[in-house]
Structure 1
Amino acid sequence: MYISYDYQRMKMKTNRPVEIRLRRLNERDMKPLQEIADNKKIFDNLPDFFPFPYTLDDAKRFLTLTESEEKTCTFAIEWEGVLVGIISLIPQADIYAKSMKVGYWLGEAYWGKGIATAALRKICAYAWQNFDINRLFSSVIAYNKSSVKVMEKAGFTFEGIGRKAIFKNGQFYDDHYYGLLKDD
């Protein structure tokens, strides 16, 4: 399954257009997923439920999890025909049911190319069209300045800081919160 706005053209510093596609994961993605996810720098920017080292069994478990989604919320990020990362919508419950959290990561070789921003914009459009929600949000570990730029370029607004809210690799870090309303 492909989302209806599969391609987005963005100008990079080279003025070369880049095609980004979001699609469902499939069996062929297991090995490439394992290869790009098995990176300590990626692990350092994500919650601890994202394993390191990242094994083929981890990739298989993740694929099985995405296959069980009632409505597609997790997508492979594809650039130039290659799996380069993952982006997901995480439904919320109870009084937060009109909000969804967005999470994403890219393989290190693909950082700084505008891919994450394009993917984030695309999943936001998908969320507004396919879910009865009013708000998207995410949080970023304070030291992850690149992800802060991605959120801001995609139109998210800085909403606040959870001081020392994250405990990662034996240290406390601030958590920066970003949100985007449907009518922003």
Structure 2
Amino acid sequence: MERIYTSERLSVRLWRRDDAPAVARHADNRKIWLNLRDAFPFPYALADAQRFIEQALAMKPQSYFCIASPQDEAIGSIGFIRHQDVERFSAEIGYWLSEEYWGRGLTSEALSAVTRYAMETYRLIRIYATPFAHNAASCRVLEKCGYLLEGRLRRAAVKDGKVVDMMMYAFTKED
């Protein structure tokens, strides 16, 4: 399973170690960092990309994927983390895409593909995402892909020294 999705515009595939230089180049962007959790560093160096790819490759089963251009260049990432115990059929999903590719519907395409893959492959009943409230583009992507807004988590996080709200979106087996 090298690729879980392919179209004329992108593919979603397993990570490769030689993706690291492209990841470092595309991920080293404050605008991307402002919309992600602090585990995503800024500035983003080659060593950060190498560490991330090694972690993704070590996950069993693999659930973090490369979003690749038609030329097979790594331009983003999408992945989900399955929960345990009573939430073992639920997962949290997250993603980022190079600013160079924003506004083209690529994130929506990748999110739809990975949502479908995760639901079918792991028999999940729920996948959720918690974008920052100020990240209107990500909220639109989730809505476009059938995720429903469940609520606003007030004062839920601190990003770049500011207390921010987060939004709770979910896609369920019944949606």
Name the CA distance, whole Å, in 2 between partners of 1:2 and 1:151. 25
Structure 2 residue 156 is matched with structure 1 residue 157: no
Q: 2:88 aligns with which of 97, 100, 106?
A: 97
Name the CA distance, whole Å, in 1 between partners of 2:133 and 2:18. 35
Partner of 1:182: 173
CA contact (8 A) 2:17 2:54 kept: no
CA contact (8 A) 1:79 1:115 kept: no
**1:16-165 paired onto structure 2 within 5 Å:** 18-81=8-71, 82-165=73-156
The offset of 1:79, in angstroms, is 2.3
- Give 2:126's aligned amino acid: R
The offset of 1:94, in angstroms, is 2.0
TM-score (norm 1): 0.91
Q: 1:166 aligns with which of 152, 157, 170?
A: 157
Structure 2 residue 2 is matched with structure 1 residue 2: yes
In structure 1, list runs of 5 or more residues that go unmatched.
9-17
The offset of 1:49, in angstroms, is 0.7
In structure 2, list runs of 5 or more residues that go unmatched.
none
Tell me the C-alpha RMSD between the 2 structures.
1.2
The offset of 1:19, in angstroms, is 2.2
**What SS does the corresponding residue of 1:19 show, helix, strand or coil?**
coil
**What SS does the corresponding residue of 1:29 show, helix, strand or coil?**
helix
TM-score (norm 2): 0.95
Name the CA distance, whole Å, in 1 between partners of 2:116 and 2:153. 27
CA contact (8 A) 1:27 1:63 kept: yes
- Give 1:161's aligned amino acid: R
CA contact (8 A) 2:129 2:170 kept: yes
